[in-house]
Chains A and B, each alone.
Chain A
Amino acid sequence: MKFSNLSIRLKLVVLLGASAAIALVISAVMSLVLTFVSVRDESLRHLQQTADIARDNLTATLAFRDNASAARMLDSLSTNPRILAAFIDDEDSQRFSEFVSPASPAAQTMAYLAQVSALAKNQHTPLFQRREGIASMTWSYMFTVNPIVFDGKTIGTLTILSDNVDLKERLSTYIVMQLLISVLTLVIVVFIAFRLQGTFTAPIFQLIEAIREISQTKNYAVSVDTLQKDEFRTLYTHFNDMIAEIRDRDAMLSRLATTDPLTGLANRRHAMEVMQFMVSRARRKQESFGLVMFDIDHFKSINDRYGHPVGDVVLKTVAGILTHTAREIDLVARIGGEEFLVLCDKSDLQATHLIAERIRLAIELAAIPYGEGNSLQVTTSGGVYASVPDTEVLDVYLSRVDGALYQAKETGRNKIVNWEKA
């Protein structure tokens, strides 16, 4: 599985875990190196201390050529099981006394001793001209070679060879402990990473959820909020601004799609949608709904006489009277040049007629200003239809109300006529 294909949660956990693992490895390696150096120096120091003590005691034996005492003192080194061998060479580089641990493999010890002798001989400063010994370590053993000085003169050397078992055991223990601690630390870090990743991913998922909801419901009233004061707050603010802009644009488009631009009333398409809804509901509930269609009388002659701008003023004034005179629950729409439709929800014929008559009268009484100090008056004719719907076909009702309007026009205008079944 590719890293790029992982979820953000897992990416964060992997990144934190990997960072912790790298830091742990570097730390463990550095710590191991420092521990190795420390343990190595400590081991060599202990061996050197043993050599110093032994050398002080052995000086007299060499000074007086007492091999037996020297052998006895060297044998005392056997109390330290790590010492493989020890020997004294005199000033003629002849072996004066030696001790080889019976517990150590003789062949291996001899091989080590040969290496140590070679190393000692290869020193830049010959041992018999030194006051300080040499101490060194290989992976298998460590050794010290120290001059034995008597009365200011080097009369021999003491070599002690020891194995590195203690050092290796300590290092092994340390490595095991380090591994355990590292694994434990890594587990804790991964656990914490799992717990903390929510701090980073929760705002992202909250945003994703908000986008999904908007996508499904088209509800642009949604907004997201956060208590965080970091970059997520900026992201949220910009997201909310963007949603608000979409919401406003959506509302504007909706208004443009449903509203008549001149009068601000609902347009024909919107009126038909609302009417379809009203008819369906009234039919389902067996309730009455009312419909009024108005037409401004002699509107063509107004346009011809006063011009289209005054005609537009008349249309807007009539629209305003319709809106204010109709009930709040009614929908007023402009469905043609000078034709208006009023949808009266839950209204029977009597109520619808009353509404229509109130509107007609208000229009008739209204003085419509135009030009400078001038005014004119218009009248309207209206057809009314109201009943419990018997069909879902809107044209049926429009045709009925249009027929009533025609009757009002034919019978003198400025009146309201109810549709009557023939």
Chain B
Amino acid sequence: MTHKWFALAVVLVAQLVASPAQASQEENRLMAVFLGRFASYIELPDRASKHFVITLIDENPFGSLLDDLYAGKVIGGKPVVIRYATKVEDVGQSDMLFITLVNPRSRQEAIDYGARNSILTISTATGFAERGGIIQLDFVQQHTRIKINHAAAVKSNIRIGAPLLSLASVIRGDAQ
């Protein structure tokens, strides 16, 4: 009898521990998918680059998911290349910059870098869009919320399609 109660308790604890991890994993998978899908609704300035470069700066929450998902994929007629950087100086010429930097100062530097180089900046960090980031993703109870700083996009010469804007909370003015 004691063994049965113990086994039940172990299962319940395991469930409690496992659920957030599984949710996070699902969110990461969706985020990875969304990165490519955002590309379908934006128009970047013409670049000489032969690749569509997605750079992930700082911590990589996806593991090998991005590489697996975009292997052999083409966006805007260009093969997708996934890059990983730890600091802004390593970002180089990119089309999309997914920012996971925790340090607000570093994050702001990345945002500014993106703005200067017409890079679509994306992050899940709170207040990201208000601070000049272009797309902020939130996952609330397994529902996606998109926040777009349209002014920042315009400033970076990036055009965002109406369907995407229609989904998002849009910041029209200059939040910086």
> Which residues in A have some Cβ–Cβ distance to B below 8 Å?
56-57, 59-61, 63-69, 150-151
Nearest B-chain residue to A70, judged by Cβ? B167
A66 touches B40 (CB 8 A): no
Residues from chain A with Cβ under 8 Å of B40 in the complex = 63, 150-151
List CB contacts (< 8 Å) of B11-62 with chain A: 30, 34, 36-37, 40-41
Whether A68 touches B37, Cβ cut-off 8 Å, given contacts A56-B163, A57-B166, A60-B164, is no
Residues from chain A with Cβ under 8 Å of B3 in the complex = none
B86 within 8 A of A: no
Whether A66 touches B146, Cβ cut-off 8 Å, given contacts A60-B163, A60-B166, is yes
A69 touches B166 (CB 8 A): yes
B144 within 8 A of A: yes
Total contacting residues, chain B, CB less than 8 A: 14
Whether A64 touches B167, Cβ cut-off 8 Å, given contacts A150-B37, A150-B40, is yes
A63 touches B37 (CB 8 A): yes
Per the bound structure, the CA–CA distance linking A78 and B48 in Å amounts to: 48
A57 touches B143 (CB 8 A): no
B146 touches A64 (CB 8 A): yes
16 CB < 8 A contacts A-B:
A59-B163, A60-B163, A60-B164, A60-B167, A61-B167, A63-B34, A63-B37, A64-B164, A64-B167, A66-B144, A66-B145, A67-B143, A68-B143, A69-B166, A69-B167, A151-B40
> Which residues in B have some Cβ–Cβ distance to A below 8 Å?
30, 34, 36-37, 40-41, 143-146, 163-164, 166-167
B143 touches A64 (CB 8 A): no
Whether A151 touches B37, Cβ cut-off 8 Å, given contacts A64-B144, A66-B143, A66-B144, is yes
Per the bound structure, the CA–CA distance linking A64 and B146 in Å amounts to: 9
Question: Nearest Cβ in chain B — how far from A138, in angstroms?
Answer: 33
Task: Classify the interface of chain A: helix, strand, loop or mixed.
Answer: helix
Residues from chain A with Cβ under 8 Å of B37 in the complex = 63-64, 150-151
Nearest B-chain residue to A61, judged by Cβ? B167
Nearest A-chain residue to B161, judged by Cβ? A60
Residues from chain A with Cβ under 8 Å of B166 in the complex = 57, 60, 69
Question: Nearest Cβ in chain B — how far from A156, in angstroms?
Answer: 13
Among B36, B37, B40, B145, the one with the most A-chain Cβ atoms within 10 Å of its Cβ is B37
Per the bound structure, the CA–CA distance linking A60 and B146 in Å amounts to: 11
Per the bound structure, the CA–CA distance linking A57 and B143 in Å amounts to: 18
Nearest A-chain residue to B140, judged by Cβ? A68
Residues from chain A with Cβ under 8 Å of B163 in the complex = 56-57, 59-60
Closest CB pairs A-B (n = 10): A60-B163, A69-B167, A63-B37, A65-B144, A66-B167, A66-B144, A64-B144, A60-B167, A60-B164, A67-B143
Question: Nearest Cβ in chain B — how far from A62, in angstroms?
Answer: 10
Residues from chain B with Cβ under 8 Å of A63 in the complex = 34, 37, 40
Residues from chain B with Cβ under 8 Å of A65 in the complex = 30, 143-144
Per the bound structure, the CA–CA distance linking A65 and B41 in Å amounts to: 15
Nearest A-chain residue to B137, judged by Cβ? A64
Among A57, A64, A67, the one with the most B-chain Cβ atoms within 10 Å of its Cβ is A64
Question: Nearest Cβ in chain B — how far from A157, in angstroms?
Answer: 18
Residues from chain A with Cβ under 8 Å of B34 in the complex = 63-64
Nearest B-chain residue to A155, judged by Cβ? B37
Residues from chain A with Cβ under 8 Å of B144 in the complex = 64-66
Residues from chain B with Cβ under 8 Å of A56 in the complex = 163
Residues from chain B with Cβ under 8 Å of A60 in the complex = 41, 163-164, 166-167
Per the bound structure, the CA–CA distance linking A150 and B163 in Å amounts to: 12
Per the bound structure, the CA–CA distance linking A150 and B166 in Å amounts to: 17
Nearest B-chain residue to A68, judged by Cβ? B143
Nearest A-chain residue to B39, judged by Cβ? A151
Nearest B-chain residue to A59, judged by Cβ? B163
Among B144, B166, B167, the one with the most A-chain Cβ atoms within 10 Å of its Cβ is B167
Residues from chain A with Cβ under 8 Å of B30 in the complex = 65
Per the bound structure, the CA–CA distance linking A65 and B36 in Å amounts to: 14
Question: Nearest Cβ in chain A — how far from B144, in angstroms?
Answer: 5
Per the bound structure, the CA–CA distance linking A61 and B167 in Å amounts to: 7
Nearest A-chain residue to B75, judged by Cβ? A151
Nearest B-chain residue to A60, judged by Cβ? B163
Per the bound structure, the CA–CA distance linking A68 and B166 in Å amounts to: 12
Question: Nearest Cβ in chain A — how far from B86, in angstroms?
Answer: 28
Per the bound structure, the CA–CA distance linking A57 and B165 in Å amounts to: 11
Residues from chain A with Cβ under 8 Å of B143 in the complex = 65-68
Residues from chain B with Cβ under 8 Å of A57 in the complex = 163, 166
Residues from chain A with Cβ under 8 Å of B146 in the complex = 64, 66
Question: Nearest Cβ in chain A — how far from B163, in angstroms?
Answer: 4
Question: Nearest Cβ in chain B — how far from A297, in angstroms?
Answer: 146
Per the bound structure, the CA–CA distance linking A64 and B38 in Å amounts to: 9
Residues from chain B with Cβ under 8 Å of A66 in the complex = 143-146, 167
Per the bound structure, the CA–CA distance linking A68 and B143 in Å amounts to: 8
